[in-house]
Chain A
Amino acid sequence: MLHIKCPHCGLRSQNEFSYGGDASVKRPELNKEISDQDWDNYVYLRKSPRGKHLELWQHISGCRQWIKVERDTLTHEIFKTLKANEEV
């Protein structure tokens, strides 16, 4: 079980969090033309890296904040955690 440092609440067990996927994905802006290909990439395509991965987690049984977690998908090492509005 991972030990994730919520930037708002501190070190907590994984079972308080829920996973939210790749944090580097940016939603296309509203009301803006976008090609089918780009939209499909946004909706469906995700990288599955072996190694460092910046991902979203929500502290669902805690402060309910979405946070960013930089984690190694192979070793599960967590390098850093960030608030939603912070960049690496």
Chain B
Amino acid sequence: MSENFRLDNVGLVNRNKKISFKFNGKNYFGYEGDTLASALIANGVHLVGRSFKYHRPRGFFGAGVDEPYAIVQMNRNNEVDPNVRATEQELFEGLEAKSVNCWPNVDFDIGAINNFLNIFFPAGFYYKTFMWPKSFWYKVYEPIIRKAAGFGAASIKHDKERYEHKYEYCDLLITGSGPSGLASAYAAAQNGAKVILAEDKSRFGGTLLTSDETIGNQSGKEWAEKIISELKSMSNVIVKNRSQVFGYYDHNMLVMSERVSDHLPKTEKYTPKQRLWYIRAKEVIISSGSIERPLVFGNNDTPGVMLSSAAKEYLKVYGVLVGKKPIIFTNNDSGYETAIEFKKNGVDPIVLDTRKDTNSEIIKEAKELNINIKFSYVVVAAKGYKKVNSADIAKISDDKKNISSIENIKCDCICVSGFWTPTIHLASQSGNKSKFSEEIDAFIPSQSKQKETTLGSANGVFTLEETLKTSFEKGNELSKKITNKENKVLVPSVVEKKSSNHDKFWCVPLPEGKNYKRFLDFQNDVSVSDIQLALREGYRSIEHVKRYTTLGMATDQGRTSNLNGLQLVSDIENKVVPQVGHTTFRPPYSPISIGAIVGREIGKHSKPTRKSPMHYWHEKNNAVFVDAGVWLRPRYYKQGNENLFEASKREAKNVRQNVGVCDVTTLGKIDIKGPDSAEFLNRVYTNAWLKLPVGKARYGVMLREDGIVMDDGTTTRISENHYHMTTTTAQAANVLTHLEYYLQLVWPELNVNVVSSTEQWAGAAIAGPKSRNLLQRLFPDLDVSNEGLPFMGYMEGKLFGVNAKIYRISFSGELAYEVNVESDYGNFMWEKIIEIGKEFNIQPYGTEALSTLRIEMGHVAGSELDGRTIPYDNSLEGLVSKKKDFIGKRSLNKKAYIESDRQKIVGVVPLDKKTSIPEGSYIVKDAKAKLPNPKLGHVSASCWSVEYDNPFSLAIIKDGKNMIGQKLFAMSPLKNKVIPVEIVSSHYVDPKGERVRS
């Protein structure tokens, strides 16, 4: 299609660089500096989508973030980008986009039948219709609604683009680079303040790019360029375009989304697609400007009806005519600016002004240009389906209640101007309770809650002179407070036209016998009649009306719809707008991508990965790893074609028969020092600690104050006032916090210090009947006999010259030792153990074999200490001191905790000795009982016992103490399994604990 709406020599786009792009499969051309919207309009394309509910044709309404309609699906560098505003998307070579919310295509959309059935789609339609029958909701209604509703389709593929987060601190953050933003930034920068100036669009200057005022002796645009280039050259200023400050959070934290690469055909190497800035500002200047308000009339959603300010922007910035027979429909002077632009470029507009014959400088100018102006005139209805082709216009009475002499005139666009709505979203998010300004029929910020100051038209100030004056002043004043420096700049003189008052009129009455849809919310298809219905049905609070009708929801957030909706509610309710109030503005101001929120925290980067010093040895020796908290631990070491089951059985068996070595570096370790350490441990653990001699370890259990087991582990007395505590891998951080809580807040009189030493030590558990022989070879100078180093003993020694600590403790239930060396020597230690252990048939074992060994021994771990069990449940009641007090003790005599049939840990063996019991299975008395089958408890951990070569599980069941010997059932509804089982002791292997002491 030829470019027939582009003017020569007008606008800021680069005529020397032609750009080809594709929309809905067709090829078009635009220029560098175009948006997708301006390029499409230049090509005469106005049909870009279908509306949300009725699938009515949708064109362009705005020229930027205010656009409610033109949301497209982008394909950029083989990545899908749904819900992109065509008015914000800059054109690049090869851009591909298509319409959303239409099927099979935008020209012929089957969903448009909703438009003709709209009698069935009133406000709250979904709530009313799909309530019955209930069972239909998930199966029938919801999938259909889901398919018909919504905008673009997200990709199901992993997003390969890179997103970043950045933290920044500044004295002044300024949101918007219009006149108020530029002036305040400039004044603050002169005072030496650290300034961030953020502009949503690609071009700086805001309204200065399209206005006719002069500043000093320059045009607004020239002045803006000069200020920006000066700001850019200053080291204390960060100037960012394509950056939307979308959220104002607590304590002056604002978040900004920078679209770093969205305007490029593809993201360059080492740069992100988008960057999210977390900015903590000492002062915030909100200079976000204002958005033109629509006027409400019949079929005011037809493509070709758009904001007058947008038409002016397309003309002045992009050199694009939105139409060649325009109607300007206005209630104030702004519409005339657009009319004059049209006229200057050889297009004859008709101005319909709702006001009675009015005079002002700009109206005079329009009259001098022979522009056809009709006062007391309105557009009654737009005509045309996919594009406006004419309009019914009429005279309106002085009281604005009656229309007369309706006539139809040809036109190809209708530019509406219903005055201006300040963009107060950020101020409102900061906690500023807005106030209603009668003068401008809109809300403006009132008392600041945080350190925010709203300036310019965002604050309801619509003259350039006043805006510049206050902005220079505020920029100077706020920065001076911070930097204690003042370098005052002169406020330039301004030439601008004086405006006459706007007309409060906003909604054209329906002509008799006509039932035109008059839209308030263009994005969500909410019309005047929907609001009327909601109010008739009894909705009063504006928050309820919003949710019932969807007014002001979704990505639009009421930018264009809010005030007209409020006007209507207050008219019907006979209230004034401030009584109705507005709905809460919440971040984000405009949509941001999920990718930007997530940033780099994806996949493996979502949390740190911790590796032990022996990690690369494990890797080289075919370890298959498993996530254990943030650690990577070997799950098993694969030999040949072994699977998990075979390998773990082999490894566990070798521990029982020979000797195995397991990397236990990941265990939490806490160093405890101070004269009151013993007393402190005595309060933290349930058992007695005062008499533990130096050089001995003890197993301990610690509770929360509610009596629930928090963690277990061994603690060793290294010297008189020095202890080494171990925790489980998962609870390491929580235990440290727990200890710090009691030391700092509850018992500050105790002279004890705690510090994490997890990373300082590499640990290897050597377990099995031959472990002592191996240990003796590793430490030939030490007496490691049962007498020299008894069970729960501790020794220090040199491992080939390296300082080592040896703890005779055992998780596997075998004769076992844990050797610790400083982390840097971890791999050295490990290789020595493997090398010398060969003689004893040593094999490394992973977490799966480790589990097997502890389960068949009945040693509890995380799956039993699951935050729901007390010591008794885990058969740890023997470790609960009756004599002394400790954390959580008072809770243990709760009625539920001392009932005689309290749950307790037991062992479970399938009767057939073959079928493994899935973890999480229920234990029940009668497998055939009526559902819900009363459960006795659950299976917490399962393994294949290498000692007896049959499956074995641990379970925590009601009255476990008296259940030994019972024949019950393990049921797993999830796996559809019912397994007859026998309850046995949880100590399945070596119940007397002889091996560890051997």
Give B592 Cβ to nearest chain A Cβ, in Å.
16
Give A30 Cβ to nearest chain B Cβ, in Å.
4
Q: Are A85 and B280 in contact, CB atoms less than 8 angstroms apart? A: no
Give B53 Cβ to nearest chain A Cβ, in Å.
37
Most chain A C-beta atoms within 10 Å of own C-beta, residue among B449, B706, B744, B748: B744
With A30-B885, A60-B737 as known contacts, state yes or no: A2 contacts B744, CB within 8 Å.
no
A9-62: which residues lie under 8 A (CB-CB) from chain B?
13, 18, 20, 27-28, 30-31, 34, 39, 42-44, 56, 58, 60
Residue of B249, B278, B748, B891 near A39 (CB, 8 A) is B891
A75 to B257, CA, bound (A): 25
B858-900: which residues lie under 8 A (CB-CB) from chain A?
884-886, 890-891
Q: Are A56 and B745 in contact, CB atoms less than 8 angstroms apart? A: yes
Give A17 Cβ to nearest chain B Cβ, in Å.
12
A74 to B746, CA, bound (A): 28
Most chain A C-beta atoms within 10 Å of own C-beta, residue among B249, B250, B748, B886: B250
Q: Are A2 and B885 in contact, CB atoms less than 8 angstroms apart? A: no
Q: Are A43 and B741 in contact, CB atoms less than 8 angstroms apart? A: no
With A30-B683, A58-B740, A64-B740 as known contacts, state yes or no: A43 contacts B705, CB within 8 Å.
yes
Residues of B within 8 A of A34 (CB): 890
Residues of A within 8 A of B884 (CB): 31
Give B690 Cβ to nearest chain A Cβ, in Å.
14
Residue of B251, B683, B705, B744 near A1 (CB, 8 A) is B251
Residue of A27, A30, A66, A78 near B744 (CB, 8 A) is A66
- B441-475 near A? 1/0 per residue, CB < 8 Å: 00000000100000000000000000000000000
With A3-B253, A76-B250, A84-B745 as known contacts, state yes or no: A13 contacts B280, CB within 8 Å.
yes
Q: Are A20 and B252 in contact, CB atoms less than 8 angstroms apart? A: no
Residues of A within 8 A of B740 (CB): 58, 64, 66
Which residue of chain B is the closest to A34 with respect to CB atoms? B890
Q: Are B890 and A39 in contact, CB atoms less than 8 angstroms apart? A: yes
Residues of B within 8 A of A76 (CB): 250-251
Cβ of B578 within 8 Å of any chain A Cβ, yes or no, is no
Q: Are A58 and B737 in contact, CB atoms less than 8 angstroms apart? A: yes
A75 to B253, CA, bound (A): 14
Which residue of chain A is the closest to B888 with respect to CB atoms? A43
Cβ of B587 within 8 Å of any chain A Cβ, yes or no, is no
Residues of B within 8 A of A84 (CB): 744-745, 748
Q: Are B890 and A66 in contact, CB atoms less than 8 angstroms apart? A: no
Most chain A C-beta atoms within 10 Å of own C-beta, residue among B449, B745, B884, B891: B745
Give A86 Cβ to nearest chain B Cβ, in Å.
11
Cβ of B122 within 8 Å of any chain A Cβ, yes or no, is no
Residues of A within 8 A of B746 (CB): 27
Cβ of B431 within 8 Å of any chain A Cβ, yes or no, is yes
Residues of B within 8 A of A56 (CB): 745
A56 to B253, CA, bound (A): 22
Give A37 Cβ to nearest chain B Cβ, in Å.
12
B252-306: which residues lie under 8 A (CB-CB) from chain A?
252-253, 278, 280
With A34-B890, A39-B891, A64-B740 as known contacts, state yes or no: A2 contacts B250, CB within 8 Å.
yes
A3 to B280, CA, bound (A): 9
A66 to B754, CA, bound (A): 14
Give B881 Cβ to nearest chain A Cβ, in Å.
12
B204-254: which residues lie under 8 A (CB-CB) from chain A?
249-253
Give B886 Cβ to nearest chain A Cβ, in Å.
8
Give B246 Cβ to nearest chain A Cβ, in Å.
15
Residues of B within 8 A of A44 (CB): 706
Q: Are B280 and A43 in contact, CB atoms less than 8 angstroms apart? A: no
Residue of A2, A28, A39, A66 near B745 (CB, 8 A) is A66
With A30-B683, A58-B740, A85-B748 as known contacts, state yes or no: A75 contacts B251, CB within 8 Å.
no
B contact residues vs A (CB 8 Å cutoff): 249-253, 278, 280, 431, 449, 683, 705-706, 737, 740-741, 744-746, 748, 884-886, 890-891
- Show 8 residue pairs from A and B whose CB-CB distance is below 8 angstroms, ordered by the A residue: A1-B251, A3-B280, A13-B253, A13-B280, A43-B705, A44-B706, A64-B740, A75-B449
A-B residue pairs, 6 tightest by C-beta: A3-B251, A30-B885, A76-B250, A31-B885, A66-B744, A1-B253
